[in-house]
Amino acid sequence: MKQLMIEDKVFNLKDIKQLYPAVIIKTGYEEETTEMSLEWIDHEAKDRVEIVGYGLFVVICEDEKYRFVKKTREELEVLIQNVAKQVK
């Protein structure tokens, strides 16, 4: 069975329902955050939001979701490249 390792966590590829990158932004309500697409940040945000971090998200099922959060987009890109090498 093909596996994927992200940082120190190992996943069976067949168990992954979603795998996606996103930016984490503050919603404006207390310390609440939400995920937005990188495309939205690049084209629509126009510096109107506060970015908290950049994440790679792995969804196994409705109740099981993992977040691998980086401080910069460059760090996220390195993580994505690592994942891409594993699934070739």
pLDDT in tens, 41-68: 999 887 789 999 999 999 999 899 999 9
pTM of the model: 0.89
Confidence (pLDDT) at 19: 97
What share of the chain has pLDDT > 90, as a percent? 83
Mean pLDDT of 66-77: 98
Residue 71 gets which letter from DSSP? S
Mean pLDDT of 24-49: 91
Report yes or no: 57 and 66 within 8 Å, Cβ to Cβ: yes
16-33 burial, b at 16+ Cβ within 10 Å, e below that, comes to eeebebbbbbeeeeeeee
Confidence (pLDDT) at 48: 85
